Amino acid sequence: MKETIASLVETVRVFSIKEPGNAIHQHFEDNPASNGIVVMDNDGVPAGLVMRTHFYQMIGTQFGFSIYMNRPVELLMKRQILCLDIELDLAQFGFQTMNRQEDDVYDYVLIMKQGIFCGIVSISNFLMTMSEMKQRQIELLNSQQKILEQAHIQEQALRREIEIKNRSIKKLLDNADQGFLSFQQDLRIYEEYSSVCDDIFDRKIAHLNFGCLMEPFLDEKQHGLLINTLKSLFRQKNKARAKVFLSLLPSEFRAGNRYINIRYKIIAFEENRILMVILTDITDKKALEKKQDQEKNNIKLVLSAIQSRAEIRDAVADARRFFSREAAGLLGQDRPVQEMVKDLFREVHTMKGDFALRQMHDTALNLHSLEDRLSVMMEFPEGRSVNRLKAFLETICFDRMVKKDLDVIHDFMGATFLESDNRININAHRIEALVDAVANRFSGEDRQFLVHHINELTWPSLNGILTGYNDYIQILALKLGKSIGGFTVTGDNVYIDRSRYAGFLKTIIHMFRNIVDHGIEKPEDRSEKGKDETGRIQCEILKQDTCFTLTISDDGKGIDPDQIARIAVEKGIYSTARVSALSRSEIINTIFMDSFSTKQQVNMLSGRGVGLAALRGEIEALGGSIKVDAVTDYGTCFTIVLPDTATKNSRQD
């Protein structure tokens, strides 16, 4: 979880730019602990700072008291202020504040939230906090590591001594399990490094530039941070301040199939500043953690299979049927290839969500990879044809996608576990005949009572189905570092024909995922807004004559219509002129359009821009409707109206 500077923000006294100097003087006299104040211009925008020390230096000069005490404070304030956003993490804040011009260095940095001044951060307090954080992160090396590090430190300090001593120290290093290397401000690696480094980097590294050496192992942003942080570190004149920069350096990278942990230690500072880098292979540790996570996921999958055996069996059967027959049927229609690809993409996206809900993560991951391939086809349709699309479908083997998850279920529960359950199977036509017989032989309350109970026996409760999403929501919230209370479904009991509502039940997962990913804030963000750290999701069902209304709401951050409008224009969904003519409600409901997403990057959860569009399509196919309303920082409410199957056709009471 990213730690921002929000916890370090302090409130200070704010003065108008026209306040006289004697008002500032009186404030400092009445508040001995105050080190400074913020000056605002007439528009409420920070214009400068007046620090206690600088204030008394100014009025202490010859004629300073008479010049400044009765004149506006703007004559005294420092105008070169640094304003930073409250969402900055500690690393970004430290980098920006530590690289100010020396003439502009002062203890206060002004903090803004959405362009509005909300307090200050004291550099002194920031440095103390960073030092404490770093101290908490440091672990003592075991005795052998201490001996080796001390040997390496002594080697660097006495490197001009006789060559035989250098060789003996290097021999010690070569027998260590860790890599040790060091360099000065030019970043050129000393000859005296452990042989483990050659093994890690697959080359001799003596005299190489450490920044260039690390470039292939870091992304562009990480590498830029490494270089800039090292430059800043070596420029520092104070060792304690230099140590602050160590926490900003990368702590891990991947070399081939190996994961390497990096630690840094300043071993000389006064004259020739030397930084030691300690490299530890943590591949086995990572593999163990991965194995433990896999075992946990397997247990969750087995528990899901026990609870939802029929649903998993049906989901696998539906997917097999789609890839073996139905997918090819989509290609037989006379329409653009890109539209065919979009339909395939939507089906796969919904399928992925359904398997993720059932804890079949390996299957969901394979479907996510298939989504990526279809996404490329949609983005670059040139040269695509129906025949090439058919050839592509023939390469898809769903049994291979689902094999790993099914093997886990079969290993725990037996090979025939998914093939049968304890249900009594009755032909649907016989149920319909029974309802017709009841309708012909009974009337009034008797007929209503009997039909109602037949529905209960043969159709599942929508209330119970929706309640089953609670576990998925809790797991997803945990992965995203969020806290969401368990939700219940209130209102009327509605029984539905599952076969008719299958598409809707599969795609509604996109709504729950959207609420958790986009709607509910992280605990610290909710706390800043004065909300309970635990978010809430509520579901309510209300029956009407021939339909029912499902309301799903949350108390999250809501939907920003300005952001929706801007993204819609960027994606070419609307022109600037068109979007300016839309109502607030029309703009917000843009989230149901194909290819619309507020996410910049695609991941396993969101960013495709098809989930809510697929949900709307299934609802409209049932003859229903969906709309959304939201209030910024108060939450979002989805309203779905669907026909009630219990009141239609032969099921009518």
Which segment of 44-53, 456-465, 545-554, 623-632 scores lowest on mean pLDDT?
Answer: 456-465
| Highest mean pLDDT, choosing among 159-163, 171-175, 277-281 | 277-281
Q: Looking at the predicted structure, is the pLDDT value of residue 329 above 60? A: yes
Per-residue model confidence (pLDDT) at position 75: 87
Q: What is the pLDDT of residue 291?
A: 84
d(CA 86, CA 93): 9
pLDDT band at 555 (very low <50, low <70, confident <90, very high): very high
Least confident of 193-207, 249-263, 300-314, 465-479: 300-314
Helix axes 337-357, 361-379, angle to 10 degrees: 160
Q: In this predicted structure, what is the pLDDT of residue 279?
A: 92
Instruction: Give the separation between CA 209 and CA 183, rounded to whole angstroms.
Output: 9
Ordered alpha helix ranges (H), 308-360 = 309-321, 327-330, 337-357
pLDDT in tens, 511-531: 898 899 889 999 999 999 999
Report the C-alpha gap between 454 and 443 in whole angstroms. 15
* Helix, strand counts (H, E) of the chain: 29, 15
- For 169, the 3-state DSSP assignment is helix
pLDDT at 532: 92
pLDDT at 102: 63
pLDDT band with cut points at 50, 70 and 90 for residue 609? low
Mind listing the pLDDT tens digit for each residue in 2-49?
678 888 899 999 999 999 989 999 998 999 989 899 999 988 899 999
More confident residue, 258 or 331: 258
Whole-number Å distance between alpha carbons of 140 and 135: 11
Q: What is the mean pLDDT of the chain?
A: 83
Q: Which residue has the higher pLDDT, 377 or 508?
A: 508
Question: φ, ψ for residue 112 (rounded to 5)?
Answer: -115, 145
How large is the average pLDDT for residues 217-239?
90
Residues 6+ apart with CB under 8 A from 165: 155, 158
What are the pLDDT digits (tens) for 432-458? 777 777 777 777 777 776 666 666 666
Q: How far is CA 464 from CA 135, 397, 492, in A?
A: 51, 33, 12
The yes-or-no verdict on residue 183 having pLDDT over 90 is yes
Strands in 36-40's sheet, in edge-to-edge order, are 14-16, 36-40, 46-51
- 179: burial class by Cβ within 10 Å (0-12, 13-18, 19+)? buried
Report pLDDT for 289. 84
- Which stretches does DSSP call E strand in 377-493? 489-491
Pair type for strands 108-113 and 83-85: parallel
Confidence band, pLDDT 50/70/90 cuts, at residue 650: very low
Of residues 642 and 457, the one with the higher pLDDT is 642
What is the rounded average pLDDT of the residues 618-631?
92
**DSSP state, residue 627:** E
Crossing angle of the two packed helices 361-379 and 386-394, in degrees rounded to 10: 160
Give the model's confidence band at 177: pLDDT under 50 very low, under 70 low, under 90 confident, else very high. confident
With a CB cutoff of 8 Å and minimum separation 6, the contacts of 577 are none
Please report the pLDDT score of residue 651 as a whole number: 41
pTM of this prediction? 0.46
Q: Is the pLDDT of residue 160 over 60?
A: no
Residue in 390, 372, 381, 396 with CA at minimum distance from that of residue 336: 381
pLDDT above 90 (res 146): no
CA distance to 119, 120, 252, 487, per residue, from 649 (Å): 65, 67, 64, 33
Contacts of 331 (CB under 8 A, 6+ apart): 340, 386, 389, 390, 393
Q: What percent of the chain has pLDDT over 90?
A: 26
pLDDT of the residue at 153: 77
